[in-house]
Amino acid sequence: MKQDSRLSATLHVLLHMADRGAAMTSEELAACLGTNPVVIRRTMAGLRETGLVRSEKGHGGGWTLARALVEITLGDVHRALGEPALIALGHRSENPQCLVEQAVNAALGEAFAEAETLLAGHFDRVRLSDLAADFSRRFDERRQAHAKHDQAI
Amino acid sequence: MKQDSRLSATLHVLLHMADRGAAMTSEELAACLGTNPVVIRRTMAGLRETGLVRSEKGHGGGWTLARALVEITLGDVHRALGEPALIALGHRSENPQCLVEQAVNAALGEAFAEAETLLAGHFDRVRLSDLAADFSRRFDERRQAHAKHDQAI
DNA sequence: AGTCATGTAACATTGAAAGTTACATGAAAC
DNA sequence: GTTTCATGTAACTTTCAATGTTACATGACT
């Protein structure tokens, strides 16, 4: 199954925006992901409508966060992207006449709903500030590793 | 995201096979799903290798269950299909250099793993006999509904 | 006016599932 | 033994959504 990486990409972009502190153009953000600026604009359109980010045209324009990282959950971003399906498996047909298929749909549907609820709940509990904190931790770790390395030389 | 319906289709097919009690041809099974016999053979190939079903060529040939329904879990079927991905979302890149992306991957990876574990665990606890029982229940319900309807006439 | 940036339509590319065609292989029936 | 029926499998085509690209209109700053 070809996987949907829009959530991953968007989180990446939002953290870079927060790190920068100033407006970033689609081109800059696209460079962070190694993709095309139009992909950024298209993906961010939903976030703009939901009020997570703002965009400005012209000189000095670009994208800025409309809320603090601590006020944005992964769930917010997922919803802003249009709530793409979380589960890669699906039913062969919805509302089948065949009773066998109805039983299959019921069993799988229950399992899918359970996993989806768990994942969506998890998304609602994680804030972008949590990711930023993890980033800082990794940053410090790398810095210390480099210092150790320099010392060894 | 285009969803993978192989698990759904395979469960449907296996229950029909159990219901029949005798060998069923790819053509018959394909008719149950409204698809092509070759799709059945391709999908069932994994189940044959895993020892869930047997296939016979020639006259009177076709597919038969190699185990009782109570001895087959949804997890067995999922594994026999090659363990297709359960989660529709993915990372933008594996093993990124960018620390931001590493933090994103860590957060999402944890969430995905949690949901995947739950779903896989669920699959391992549900047996095909459970689905067959649910089918029987639905069958009886429909029969009673019809009886009631006939009575009203 | 010129430049920079977003907004968006229109199209091409990609990748995996699903569907199809064709034919080889093997087993039963005649 | 040859005809018929069934699987086994390769090699395509189709489908569909994400992703990538091109082109151009719109608006804002200099």
- Give A139 CA → C17 C1' in Å: 41
Half-sphere exposure of A153 toward its Cβ, with a 13 Å CA cutoff? 5
CB B87 within 8 A of CB A88: yes
Each of the 153 residues of chain B gets a pLDDT tens digit; together they read 789 999 999 999 999 999 999 999 999 999 999 999 999 999 999 999 999 999 999 999 999 999 999 999 999 999 999 999 999 999 999 888 999 999 999 999 999 999 999 999 999 999 999 999 999 999 998 888 767 655 666
Q: CA separation (Å) from A61 to A28, A46, A64, A112?
A: 12, 18, 9, 43
Q: What is the pLDDT of residue A151?
A: 63
Report CA-CA distances (Å) from A23 to A65, A76, A134.
8, 21, 23
Give the pLDDT score at B145. Answer: 77
A6-152, CATH topology level: Arc Repressor Mutant, subunit A (1.10.10)
Domain boundaries, chain A: 6-152
Chain A to chain B, count of Cβ pairs less than 8 Å apart? 180
Strand D close to B49 by CB, under 7 A = no
Q: What token pair was written down for B11?
A: 């469960």
Q: How far is the CA of A40 from the C1' of C7 (A)?
A: 12
Q: Are A50 and A67 in contact (CB under 8 A)?
A: no
Residue A148: is its pLDDT beyond 80? no
Instruction: Give A73→chain B minimum CA distance, Å.
Output: 12
Q: Are A37 and A27 in contact (CB under 8 A)?
A: yes
Among residues A132, A11, A32, which one has the least CA distance to residue A78?
A11
| pLDDT band (50, 70, 90) for residue A145 | confident
